[in-house]
């Protein structure tokens, strides 16, 4: 069998193995939507969602995390796309997409990063060419979370021929159900799971009908969306962090590692830093526009903290941390326990969502007013 066909067979097998999990997550989104629990923080009502104050949103997010409810597969549509449409979309786009997100009927993924444009988002090369009734889009996106389940993808693409950097970009809404035109390839991670994907628009010209904010205004819309990435969800994330820290403390007590004063000091430091992150999040909540570097500071704080927690999680387990909970083989996906998964997955924390280097550059340029880092010649 040709190598490419072997790869496609493996991809299809992976999708089949994960089909039930995807159905369960979609069913859970619809359950939340039916009770009006999706989009409670949107600035505009009337789309089937409850309305809530900022304090109520925090309470809901924290209680959801504290109850260890199922992971959300609709958070990209709810927390990223919807606020962006409310800020920049037309009335027709809001009416078309917001009710479906609020009902949990349509799931979204984010088409930003590319093989040559990850942290440097202005370097995207995916191209969309205008034609009758919309656009034809060609190119590739990578690290696209949940693309294997999504119904739609919002894509940053170049719509002006010959444009460079942040000029000539548009924010497009692309339907994923285009057989033969869009291909999704799961990327297997260190953890053995495949939440990230490659998305190809190259095999044929995928069709696009919706552009948000007007052609050529994609950079402004994309930057606006990034501002929505870290809000109420940060506090809910910290509830999950506290649960993970509690497990590490319990493991340290069981293994006897807690008797080591160095380990105790590291545990206390992690606890104190988590409290500081919470206070910082509360301080900046709803006020990030007045503090342009606040999202970058938050990302730097939690990414490094989470990596240090992962390192300590396997340290306190000792040699037992190298043994999996089930037998490993070359054919079956290996299994990890909670500490092993935490250690391996957290290695990516300082890269995805904007690497630490990018966050420090943002703080240097936008907060401290230092000279801008050269990024090539702009058109």
Q: What are the residue numbers of the active site?
A: 229
Q: Is the dihedral of CA 148, 154, 155, 160 positive or negative?
A: positive
Task: Count Cβ neighbours within 10 Å for each residue of 133-169 and write b for 16 or more, e otherwise.
Answer: eebbbbbbbbbbbbbbbbebbbbbbbbbeeeebbebb
Length of the chain equals 379
Q: How many CA atoms lie within 13 A of 96 on its CB side?
A: 13
* Rg, Å, the chain Cα set: 22
Angle 266-312-327 from CA coordinates, rounded to 5°: 165
Q: Identify which of 214, 226, 47 has the alpha carbon closest to the alpha carbon of residue 119.
A: 226
Strand, coil or helix: what is 141? Answer: strand
Distance of alpha carbon 229 from alpha carbon 166, whole angstroms: 20
- Asked whether 106 and 152 are in contact (CB, 8 A), the reply is yes
Q: How far apart are CA 322 and CA 345, in angstroms?
A: 15
Which residues sit opposite 154 in a β-bridge?
A: 110, 173
Report the alpha-carbon distance of residue 225 to residue 87 in Å, rounded.
Answer: 9
Give the C-alpha separation, 58 to 238, whole Å: 12
The two tokens of residue 97 are 């997409």
- DSSP element (H, E) containing 237: helix 232-255
Residues 6+ apart with CB under 8 A from 104: 26, 28, 29, 30, 31, 32, 33, 34, 38, 74
The C-alpha atoms of residue 356 and residue 346 are separated, in whole angstroms, by 13
Token pair recorded at residue 18: 């994960």
């Amino acid at each position: 069998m040709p190598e490419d066909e072997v790869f496609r067979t493996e991809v299809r097998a992976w999708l089949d193995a994960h089909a039930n999990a995807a159905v369960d997550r979609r069913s859970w989104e619809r359950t939340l939507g039916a009770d009006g629990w999706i989009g409670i923080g949107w600035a505009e009502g009337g789309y089937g969602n409850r309305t809530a104050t900022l304090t109520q949103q925090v309470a809901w997010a924290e209680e959801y995390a504290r109850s260890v409810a199922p992971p959300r597969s609709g958070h990209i549509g709810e927390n990223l796309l919807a606020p962006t449409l409310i800020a920049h979309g037309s009335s027709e786009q809001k009416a078309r997409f917001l009710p479906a997100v609020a009902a949990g009927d349509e799931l979204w993924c984010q088409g930003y990063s590319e093989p040559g444009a990850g942290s440097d988002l202005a370097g995207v090369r995916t191209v969309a060419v205008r034609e009758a009734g919309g656009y034809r889009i060609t190119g590739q996106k990578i690290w696209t979370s949940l693309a294997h389940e999504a119904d739609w993808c919002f894509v940053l693409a170049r719509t002006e021929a010959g444009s460079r950097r942040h000029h000539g970009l548009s924010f497009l809404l692309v339907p994923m159900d285009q057989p033969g035109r869009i291909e999704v390839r799961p990327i297997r991670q260190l953890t053995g799971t495949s939440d990230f994907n490659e998305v190809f628009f190259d095999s044929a010209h995928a069709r696009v009908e919706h552009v948000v904010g007007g052609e050529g205004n994609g950079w402004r819309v994309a930057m606006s969306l990034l501002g929505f990435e870290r809000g109420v969800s940060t506090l809910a994330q910290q509830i999950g962090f506290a649960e993970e820290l509690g497990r590490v403390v319990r493991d340290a007590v069981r293994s006897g590692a807690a008797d080591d004063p160095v380990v105790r000091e590291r545990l206390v430091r992690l606890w104190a830093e988590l409290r500081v992150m919470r206070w910082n999040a509360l301080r900046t909540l709803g006020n990030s526009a007045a503090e342009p570097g606040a999202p970058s500071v938050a990302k730097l704080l939690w990414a490094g903290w989470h990596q240090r927690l992962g390192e300590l999680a396997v340290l306190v387990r000792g040699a037992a941390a190298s043994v999996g909970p089930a037998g490993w083989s070359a054919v079956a996906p290996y299994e990890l326990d909670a500490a092993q998964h935490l250690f391996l997955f957290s290695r990516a924390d300082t890269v995805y969502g904007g690497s630490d280097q990018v966050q420090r550059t943002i703080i240097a340029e936008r907060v401290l007013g230092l000279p801008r880092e050269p990024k090539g010649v702009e058109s």
